[in-house]
Amino acid sequence: MKENNSEEIDLGQLFKLIGEAFDRFFKLIGTALKSTFHLFISFLKFLRLHFLKFAIAICIGLVIGGYWDHKSEPVYRSSMIIEPNFNSAQQLYNNIEFYNQLAQQKDHETLADALHINEKEALNIKKMSIESFSDQTQRIRQFSAFISELDSISQKQVDYNDFLQNFNNINAKFHKIKIEATSPEIAKKCQKAIVTSIENNEYFTLQKKINDRNIALKDSVIIIQQGEINELQEFYKKVKILEAQKPQGSTSINLAENQQDQMSGIELLNQARKLKDEKIELNNEKANTKNTINIISEFPNKGVLINDFFNRKLVLLPIVFSTILFLILILFQLNTYLKNYE
């Protein structure tokens, strides 16, 4: 009986502790909700008290922003998508950053010389940028190509998530170059200079020459191998014809002796198909590496007018003025609170 009573007492204390824990939890939630509601109401009262001031700040921002937009020159954006070869992406990023710094610093003479345009045209350029242009499918393909170059042990140590963690803009296959200028035609005039700045680089020129020689060598080897396979196939055909034309009872020619290194007819066909696939792959590589920079999509003849809603001064200035006024009023209220604080 005593053991049963002690067990009932222990269970009663346990349920009491659980109940108290739930009670404290719900009280905490209630306090948090009350505090949030209090802050919300205080914010509404603050806006109601200073409504006229905020209305004036917004009106001033609308007037100044509208006038600013009216007087500002229209800005046009042009984009070009390219595919760098021979690890030239890093140099391309450096060049675009250099051009953008010249535009920001208003060093139009140096910018005009770098882009092979006149100084008056360089005045129109406001901003230049470059960013990677890749999606999930392209990254998966790049991961497959990366894995295929590793040995079996290294392949087990690298997974797709590791590849993505070390993936950056430079690793992307395609890149987008953007030019913002007050002239819609200026980007097209800069296209050749941007591309040739990479193609005329001595290091990339050497890399391209070596690549072209390697492709030519592979191509000649494949042609020789295809010729040898064709000769062997013709030889087997002639032998089969001779065997078919022999009279019955005559001595047969046994080609099985000492022919362990010769390929059978099926093996020859498989090898010919393999060489054909290598030839196709080599032709694709030759086309993709014809230039140091492959232009996937050129700059348009005329850029698109930038009319982004949140980039307009008519929208930005009222937000900025309202934010500044809000911070000033908060500081005044905080100062009053500190004066009365004991």
Say if residue 127's pLDDT is above 60: yes
Render pLDDT for 277-323 as a digit per residue (tens, 0 to 9).
888 988 888 888 889 999 999 999 998 888 777 678 888 889 999 99
Pairwise pLDDT comparison (135 vs 39), residue with the higher score: 39
Q: What's the pTM value of the predicted model, to 2 decimals?
A: 0.68
Say if residue 253's pLDDT is above 70: no
| Residue 21: band (very low, low, confident or very high) from pLDDT cuts 50, 70, 90 | confident
Render pLDDT for 211-244 as a digit per residue (tens, 0 to 9).
999 999 999 998 998 888 888 878 777 777 776 6
Pairwise pLDDT comparison (272 vs 100), residue with the higher score: 100
Say if residue 249's pLDDT is above 60: no
Do 130 and 92 contact (CB within 8 A), yes or no? yes
| Residue 260: band (very low, low, confident or very high) from pLDDT cuts 50, 70, 90 | very low
Render pLDDT for 68-123 as a digit per residue (tens, 0 to 9).
878 878 889 999 999 999 889 999 999 999 999 999 999 999 999 999 999 999 99
Which pLDDT value is given to residue 82?
Answer: 93
| Residue 59: band (very low, low, confident or very high) from pLDDT cuts 50, 70, 90 | very high
Which pLDDT value is given to residue 262?
Answer: 47
Close Cβ partners of 198 (under 8 Å, ≥ 6 residues apart): 84, 88, 91, 92, 95, 204, 292, 293
Measured distance CA(207)–CA(292) in Å, rounded: 9
Measured distance CA(140)–CA(21) in Å, rounded: 50
Measured distance CA(116)–CA(106) in Å, rounded: 16
Q: Is 106 helix (H, G, I), strand (E, B) or coil?
A: coil
| Residue 8: band (very low, low, confident or very high) from pLDDT cuts 50, 70, 90 | low
Q: Pick from 41, 48, 8, 68: which is nearest to 320 by CA?
A: 68
Which pLDDT value is given to residue 5?
Answer: 52
- Which whole-number Å values give the CA distances from 116 to 156, 294, 302, in the listed order? 50, 20, 19
Where do the H-state alpha helices sit in the chain? 2-49, 51-71, 89-104, 108-115, 119-122, 136-148, 152-157, 160-165, 186-199, 202-245, 265-288, 313-340
Render pLDDT for 135-188 as a digit per residue (tens, 0 to 9).
667 777 777 777 776 777 766 767 777 766 666 677 788 999 999 999 899 999
